[in-house]
Amino acid sequence: MSPQEIDALRKEVKKKLIDLDLDNRNAGIQPRLAADLSARTGKNISTQTLNMALTGFRSSAAYQNLLEELHTMLSERINLPT
């Protein structure tokens, strides 16, 4: 994935977080998201790791995979019937 594609994915994930009202760091959302991702991937995902992926501070393949998994997880939540 090119840097531009990773940036586009990051922006789309952030938009989904806003759509689901999960963008407020002060409400304890980051630890919940990290725990959900940890359970989903079988790897220990810390809030720091999650934040580095969301801010673009880290952009290696591992962080890209994390963003893709988060995107999938959020897409499934958006598509749930209300």
Q: What is the pLDDT along the chain (82 residues), one digit of tens a residue?
A: 888 999 999 999 999 998 888 877 667 788 889 999 999 999 999 999 999 999 988 888 999 999 999 999 998 886 544 3
Q: Model-level pTM? A: 0.83
Write down the H helix ranges in the chain. 3-19, 29-41, 47-55, 61-78
Residue 35 tokens, joined:
């725990």
How far apart CA 33 and CA 37 sit, in angstroms, is 6
How far apart CA 27 and CA 9 sit, in angstroms, is 24
**Domain spans of the chain?**
3-78
Q: Among 2, 5, 6, which residue's Cα sits nearest to residue 56?
A: 6
Half-sphere exposure of 12 (CA within 13 A, CB side): 17
